[in-house]
A and B are shown apart, each in its own frame.
Chain A
Amino acid sequence: MLLNQFLILAAILFGIGMYGVLVRRNGVLVLMSVELMLNAVNLNLIAFSARLQETSGQVFSLFVITIAAAEVGVGLAIILLLFRNFRSPDLDEVHQMKG
């Protein structure tokens, strides 16, 4: 297996995730797109760990998975709070700071 096939797959997934973050209005869907991007990063870490025969990459991907779980918890709590205050899960309703 080539190293590049995994890296390019990860690049494509990262790009799709970025598209989702840019385009989606619903906060839950934006968080899902962020998860896609985090998964692309994990795939990179594991691919390099296999290439270099070195377990550090796997340890780092475990850290990324943990942080992603924490991020989803807090992110969903924030979206819930926005939903309570604005009666809509859409992020572009939130423009109170706009001059």
Chain B
Amino acid sequence: MVAQNVAFGILALAMVLAAIGVVRTHNVVHAALYLVVVLAGAAAQYILLAAEFVAWVQVLIYIGAVVILFLFGIMLTRAPMGDLEGLDNRQGLPAVVATLALIGTLTALLVDAFADQEIVLDAPTPTADIATQVFKVYVVPFEAVSILLLAALVGAIVLARRD
């Protein structure tokens, strides 16, 4: 249990620092690379929580596909590669206040609600269990999501093509 907590601590620290990097860096490409650290850290946390299938889906879809999409977006909007001023608007101070208020409220609420509930894990979740759930209980949402993905694909092509 101690090893898991140490691993959690290191990963959590890396994720928070990288997340701050995403929202604070002056270089758009660096923001995408910091995002990779956060996403990989999240995948590692899923493995700590014995959800290995979701962890690999996270690696494949987020790190493999979504970050590449972001890099294409950066390329196509011709963001300059070097350090850049003017990436932030002038709402910095109110945004910090709102963020700290949100984190403080949520933390107080969570400490109050789930004071010392333990997560006890025995074995990793078998992927077969997730498959059974997807194709039995959640088959209608699953099909709806497929239609949504198709619609999003067609929509993206219609929006982005030049004519």
Please report A residues at the B interface, Cβ cutoff 8 Å. Answer: 1-9, 11-20, 22-29, 31-33, 35-36, 39, 42-43, 46-47, 49-51, 55-56, 58-59, 61-63, 65-74, 76-81, 83, 89, 92
Q: Assess A65 versus B65: contact at CB under 8 Å? Given A5-B8, A58-B51, A78-B159.
A: no
| Residues 1-51 (chain B) with a chain A CB within 8 angstroms | 1, 4-5, 8, 12, 15-16, 19-20, 22-23, 28, 31-32, 35, 38-39, 42, 45-46, 48-51
Interface residues of B, dominant DSSP: helix
Task: Contact check, B119 vs A26: say whether CB atoms are below 8 A apart.
Answer: no
Task: Contact check, A59 vs B152: say whether CB atoms are below 8 A apart.
Answer: no
Task: Contact check, B66 vs A72: say whether CB atoms are below 8 A apart.
Answer: yes
Residues of A within 8 A of B133 (CB): 55-56, 58-59
Task: Contact check, A80 vs B73: say whether CB atoms are below 8 A apart.
Answer: yes
Q: Assess A6 versus B130: contact at CB under 8 Å? Given A35-B66, A79-B77.
A: no
Task: Contact check, B159 vs A81: say whether CB atoms are below 8 A apart.
Answer: yes
Q: Assess A15 versus B61: contact at CB under 8 Å? Given A32-B32, A77-B159.
A: no
Task: Contact check, A58 vs B125: say whether CB atoms are below 8 A apart.
Answer: yes
Residues of A within 8 A of B160 (CB): 77, 80-81
Residues of A within 8 A of B152 (CB): 70-71, 73-74
Task: Contact check, A13 vs B15: say whether CB atoms are below 8 A apart.
Answer: yes
7 more contacts with CB within 8 A, not counting A1-B118, A6-B45, A77-B160, are A2-B117, A19-B98, A33-B23, A49-B51, A67-B148, A69-B149, A83-B76
Task: Contact check, A2 vs B118: say whether CB atoms are below 8 A apart.
Answer: yes
